[in-house]
Amino acid sequence: MTRLFTTFSCLALAATSFGQTPCENGVADGYPCSGLDLLSVRTVEELGGGQNGNDCWGWVDPNSDREFVLFGRRNGLSIVEVTDPVNPVYLANVPTATVQNLWRDVKVYDNHAFIVSEAGGHGIQIVDLTQVPDITAGPVELAATGAYLGFGSAHNIVMNEASGYAYGVGTNTAGGGLHAVDVSDPTNPVAAGTYDGAYTHDAQVVMYDGPDADYAGKEIAFCFNGGAGVAIVDVSDKTDMALVSSFGYANSGYTHQGWLSEDHATIYFNDELDEMNLGNGTRTYIADVSDLDNPVVMGFYESPNTAIDHNLYVRGDKIYASNYLSGLRVSKIGPDGNITPYAYFDTNPESDAPSFDGTWSNYPYFPSGNIAISGFTHLFMVADPNYVPTEVAEAPVELAESLSVFPNPARGLVTLSGMPSAKRVRVLNAVGQEVRAWGRVPGLQGLTLDLAGLGEGVFLVQAETEGGQVRTARVLLQN
């Protein structure tokens, strides 16, 4: 979230104490919905107070499989048991380490919570979560069991549980770039290195297991850098973290956050200011990162909704996006990476305006399949009634007979339809010369491409299938 806010609170989807409220006829207890049932809802006042809520994450007790939401607030962190998501229980409060602040973010490693804030001098609060299941009468106040003060303020914290390293981003060190901390011994964190290539607003760090064999097994950071676009950084050596590549995209406002597909071939990300600055609908950008040295922005999928997007996460074949005043929006990722709407829960029925209010984040990784939604004023718990623990990939959709381009004539941006996927897309000018090409296309249906800069005239858009068939659409570009 950019520094433009005034108030905020965490929304997590849960049913009231009277029981689960199914989504029927597009509504659950007054909240517009589709495909998601309301389990419970709690206000920030019920969960510790403070002027606003913010981020959330989840933790599962390894001994009992009980599920807990970690809900950030302006004045601290709430630990809420949601094993019974219809009746969430507020068990513990972790007060802020220094002063109150709008931003508070949390991640988990080895049964410890790592909490940061943009409050000055806050550093990382480290809390042993294994003491939480023993609380019988809450809420109790928990003290930090460890701390890291190698930086003071931080916009967010990124955790790579596979390596045992945490990364402060947007800190008061390294120009706001990556600040790596060895947390393999959770209560004795050790500074590991910094990378000052650009201010990083948010990131995902993984042990790379994707198509690019050159980086197999390396620790790679995918950084969302505000006005500087997206950067891919090799962080394997914390003393010498190195830029692999970076990229921007047309009409960018503020590259906010994103997440990799589970095969590490595609990245989905959002822009926090384009809806407000350009007046477009909510956009989810998509980039092919199968070659880390040469990432390609394919375009974006645009919703007719005008709300600003904030945090999104990928689990299996779905994207879970928290979009401020339009709430949680779930999309289905097709076999070739294309996005289609799947379900939603609108936490703020009064408006879908491009305004900084409503939801902040969500946590879709509970084994139960229940989803926590956090925001300015509430924590919601919701459920997908069609959720199954192991999701089976759907069979590929049969190829349509034609490729369509809209609008036509066009001025730069065009949207494709009529066929779901292709292994290659290229653009030819009037004399048959290739003027633009994409070597891997994760999905066509509804994908918007930027053809700006090609000049005026008639162009051919060609999509080639895996079987070698070519579909062609003619488009007239105008200045």
CA distances, 447 to each of 102, 283, 339, 429, 437 (Å): 35, 11, 8, 21, 15
pLDDT at residue 406 is higher than 80: yes
* 182 Cβ contact partners less than 8 Å away, ≥ 6 residues apart: 164, 165, 189, 190, 191, 192, 238
Quick one: what percent of the chain has pLDDT higher than 90? 72
pLDDT at residue 191 is higher than 60: yes
Q: What is the DSSP letter of 395?
A: P
Beta-strand runs (E) in 44-95: 53-60, 67-73, 76-81, 89-95
Residue 10's pLDDT band, with cuts at 50, 70 and 90, is very low
Residue 400's pLDDT band, with cuts at 50, 70 and 90, is very low
139 touches 184 (CB < 8 A): no
Tokens describing residue 256: 């906010």
Say what the pLDDT of residue 431 is. Answer: 58
Say what the pLDDT of residue 1 is. Answer: 52
Size (the chain), residues: 479
DSSP labels, 303-368: -S--PPP-EEEEETTEEEEE-GGG-EEEEEE-TTS-EEEEEEE-S-TT---S-S-SEEEEE---TT
pLDDT tens digits, one per residue of 105-145: 999 999 999 999 999 999 999 999 999 999 999 899 999 99
pLDDT tens digits, one per residue of 65-95: 999 999 999 999 999 999 999 999 999 999 9
Say what the pLDDT of residue 27 is. Answer: 95
Instruction: Please return the burial class of 311, using the count of CB atoms within 10 Å of its CB with bins 0-12, 13-18 and 19+.
Output: buried
User: Residue 277: in which H helix or E strand, if any?
Assistant: helix 274-278
Show the domains of the chain with their CATH numbers. 27-383 (2.130.10.10), 404-477 (2.60.40.1930)
Say what the pLDDT of residue 424 is. Answer: 83
Residue 6's pLDDT band, with cuts at 50, 70 and 90, is very low
Q: What's the rounded mean pLDDT across residues 182-189?
A: 96
80 touches 379 (CB < 8 A): yes
Plot region of 358 (φ>0 → left; ψ -120 to 50 → alpha; else → beta): left
pLDDT at residue 197 is higher than 60: yes
183 touches 198 (CB < 8 A): no
Q: What's the rounded mean pLDDT across residues 357-380?
A: 95
Residue 398's pLDDT band, with cuts at 50, 70 and 90, is very low
pLDDT at residue 401 is higher than 60: no
Say what the pLDDT of residue 390 is. Answer: 52
Q: Which residue has the higher pLDDT, 386 or 430?
A: 386
What is the average pLDDT value for the chain, to the nearest integer? 89
pLDDT tens digits, one per residue of 425-472: 888 876 567 888 887 776 777 888 888 888 887 788 888 877 777 888
Say what the pLDDT of residue 28 is. Answer: 95
Weakest mean pLDDT among 149-158, 328-337, 367-376, 449-458 = 449-458
For the chain, how many helices (H) and strands (E)? 1, 38
Say what the pLDDT of residue 430 is. Answer: 62
pLDDT at residue 7 is higher than 60: no
Say what the pLDDT of residue 358 is. Answer: 93
pLDDT at residue 194 is higher than 60: yes
* 414 Cβ contact partners less than 8 Å away, ≥ 6 residues apart: 405, 406, 407, 408, 448, 449, 451, 461, 475
Q: What's the rounded mean pLDDT across residues 55-71?
A: 96
pLDDT at residue 16 is higher than 50: no
